[in-house]
Amino acid sequence: MSEIRLSSEKRLRLFAGRGFPELADEVAAELGIPLTPTSAYDFANGEIFVRFEESVRGCDAFVIQSHTNPVNKQIMEQLIMVDALKRASAKRITVVAPFYGYARQDKKSRGREPITARLMADLFKTAGADRLMCVDLHTSQIQGFFDGPVDHLFALPMLANYVGSKVDRSRLTIVSPDSGRVRVAERWSDLLGGCPIAFIHKTRDPRIPNESTTGRVVGDVQGQTCVVIDDMIDTAGTITKAVEALFDAGAADVIIAATHAVLSGPAVDRLKSSRASEVVITNTLPITEDQKFDNLTVLSIAPLLARAIREVFEDGSVTSLFDGHS
Ligand code: R5P
């Protein structure tokens, strides 16, 4: 009788949606593995078709998709990829969403509103995702919306190391553009030797999307180099108003640092004409050539994603990637 050998060896497989294939390529290169060949196209009415061109049975699947504009399409494509993997008997499926779309609606501000951050988590679970991996969720508690492990990665150490290497830390103040991000500003401060923090008292009318009213600076920024931090720059209204408020309050210099460059509508023009000396972002979302400008610095998130994917695949520790700053 011929012998049957049972292999329990896991296979790491990387799958890329069409949202930002260049980032997936970078992650694959960091990991030293190819992306699994995948066919994807749109039907005439916009419906999406996906098929993997190789067997995925038994693999440890990581599905990378950046929820970039058009965000609904990218999310739907990722859901369809997860469904296809589940039906093709992948052993474990991890949704890698460097920027997790719909995260800003994480609670009801008024009656009769949705909680889309939760809906997203439910959709991924229903499609067949076993795990989620994201970078700088709008709020940490979104992790609890997904019924399964969530690897919440932080761009903060990378951004802070970069900024810290360029400024005189004795004149540095970290600024949160609203009261909700003060805890993050404190983490920046911890990483940069305990520099002072300040925040902008921002008010927003919840009935008007993408419109913020910047109030006053809380904290002394006179003569300081201010680093104003945020999780995302969408229309850049929040952050450029913060820059103005800081100069008005006597700041000597302002640097903008944010993880997700959504860059909708007037964002690039606002950033270009702002008085910030540098805008530092990561590439969780694609930055097109015409969105680039002289004082824009884009740090790659690919090495962090690759390291986290490797840790998950090898049953290692994702927390260890942050040297205690998780
Ligand atoms: C708000 O809570 C977020 O953290 C960002 O500050 C906001 O989404 C940025 O949006 P915009 O660039 O359109 O002002």
What are 240-254's pLDDT values in tens digits? 999 999 999 999 999
The alpha carbon of 94 and the centre of ligand 1 are apart by a number of angstroms equal to: 27
Q: Average pLDDT in the 94-123 region? A: 97
Choose the residue to mutate in 156, 179, 233 for probing ligand 1, maximizing ligand atoms within 8 Å of C-beta. Answer: 233
202 is catalytic: yes
Q: Whose CA is nearest to atom 5 of ligand 1?
A: 232
Please work out, in degrees rounded to the nearest 5, the angle formed at the alpha carbon of residue 265 by the alpha carbons of 259 and 268: 55
The alpha carbon of 82 and the centre of ligand 1 are apart by a number of angstroms equal to: 29
Spell out the residues 6+ positions from residue 97 whose beta carbon is closer than 8 angstroms to its own: 65, 66, 67, 78, 132, 133, 134
- Two structure tokens written together for 285: 């979302």
Residue 2 has pLDDT above 70, yes or no: no
Which atom of ligand 1 lies at the shortest distance from residue 212's CA? Answer: 14
Confidence of residue 1 (pLDDT cuts 50, 70, 90): low
Choose the residue to mutate in 203, 238, 270 for probing ligand 1, maximizing ligand atoms within 8 Å of C-beta. Answer: 238
250 CB neighbour count, 10 Å cutoff: 13
Confidence of residue 207 (pLDDT cuts 50, 70, 90): confident
Task: Catalytic residue, from 202, 241, 272, 292: name it.
Answer: 202
Q: Whose CA is nearest to atom 1 of ligand 1?
A: 104
**The pairing of beta strand 172-176 with beta strand 225-233:** parallel
143 CB neighbour count, 10 Å cutoff: 15
Instruction: Report the range of poorest mean pLDDT among 5-19, 83-97, 174-188, 204-218.
Output: 204-218
Domains of the chain (ranges plus CATH)?
12-154+303-319 (3.40.50.2020), 156-299 (3.40.50.2020)
What are 251-269's pLDDT values in tens digits? 999 999 999 999 999 999 9
pLDDT the model gives residue 9: 63
Pocket around ligand 1 at a 6 A CB cut-off: 104, 177, 210, 212, 230-239
- Two structure tokens written together for 169: 């830390």
Residue 309 has pLDDT above 90, yes or no: yes
pLDDT the model gives residue 209: 75
